[in-house]
Structure 1
């Protein structure tokens, strides 16, 4: 909950403050980072992951108090979004630095072009991870088999 509040305060501060025209791209990159951290805090508020080893099978169990009220399909969507974001969030950490470097090196390029270049690799890696995370989930019969063993 504290992460949600701090990231909302940071985002509002970045929206209201004027750093100057020179640092505009850096401010936008920091705002995107604050939104992604807000998303991470929201997902961690809903659910946590616990890794279990059951009869030689590695199982990641998602736990959250409100997950019991959601249908299974909604829980699967939450799980995919959680694993995609949590296991790829390190890729967004370098983007503000890339934006700073591009501002210094590519002075004749436009602001949108610099942001697209800075986030292109990150977006591609997110899309790839989202595509692959879906294949990590087994069918319901395997889930029921693990529940019997536990």
Structure 2
């Protein structure tokens, strides 16, 4: 599925979420957050080196981020794995479980990847910043874990 374009309405979804203000597993609908700036960051897998680097950088600058937007991580991992990841690294933000790949397909980030010459499908590390009116204002594609935080902070400063 193609990626949504800048300045279009962010595709709506309903999915399980845990962490941050969602102390136990609950269901989140994106459109219910209208009126707030949202950062959706898609990442491949909980508790892997790159994803941990990315998540811990966001955690360490949480006070800066939370003043400007609500942040949600999204991967295809199940909610129980998200809960362990949150607990292990004391992540202050919620993680959305997309086990059926609905959201990654909706946002066009479920793509063919290659590792050591083997091709497989996986989540492309991509971040969408959504304005208070629900439109996409920034898309950060093929993000490098170590550079993600500075890119998000720069985009939120706009």
TM-score under structure 2 normalisation? Answer: 0.23
Please identify the structure whose Cα radius of gyration is greater: 1
Say which structure is richer in helix.
Answer: 1
